[in-house]
Amino acid sequence: MKANRLVLAGSFCWNKDCPNNGLVDHGNIVKYGRTGKSTQRLKCTTCEKVFVENKGTVFYVRHHNPKEILECLAMVAERNSLASIHRIKGIHWSSVKRRIAMRQRSR
């Protein structure tokens, strides 16, 4: 039986057409500069595809900082309504709802 384990999003190649797709810490991923928002860019040396270290996470392509995202998710876990999170944090309910949907898809 194959054991499941958590790995860092930037520790493997995301390209499904790459021969090293999904191989964790295989040595084919190298740092490749940063985005304008200072997110680490990574490059697969096998297929030459570039992606960011937070791809596939709730922090991927978001306008709010990670701390705000985690605070909103904690508020959802504490059964706050999306409307109350909007009033307290000033983050629109649709943004919070997208993050919740992303968490549910990744399970």
Q: Which is nearer to Zn ion, 48 or 78 (CB)?
A: 48
Tell me, letter by letter, the H, E, C secondary structure of the chain: CCCCCCCCHHHCECCCCCCCECCCCCCCEEEEEECCCCCEEEEECCCCCEEECCCCCCCCCCCCCHHHHHHHHHHHHCCCCHHHHHHHHCCCHHHHHHHHHHHHHCC
* 29, 44, 91, 96: which one binds Zn ion (CB under 5 A): 44
* 13, 42, 75, 85: which one binds Zn ion (CB under 5 A): 13
Q: Pick the stretch among 1-9, 17-25, 69-77, 84-92 that binds Zn ion (CB under 5 A).
A: 17-25
Q: Pick the stretch among 1-9, 39-47, 55-63, 67-75 that binds Zn ion (CB under 5 A).
A: 39-47
Binding residues (CB under 5 A) for Zn ion: these are 13, 15, 18, 44, 46-47
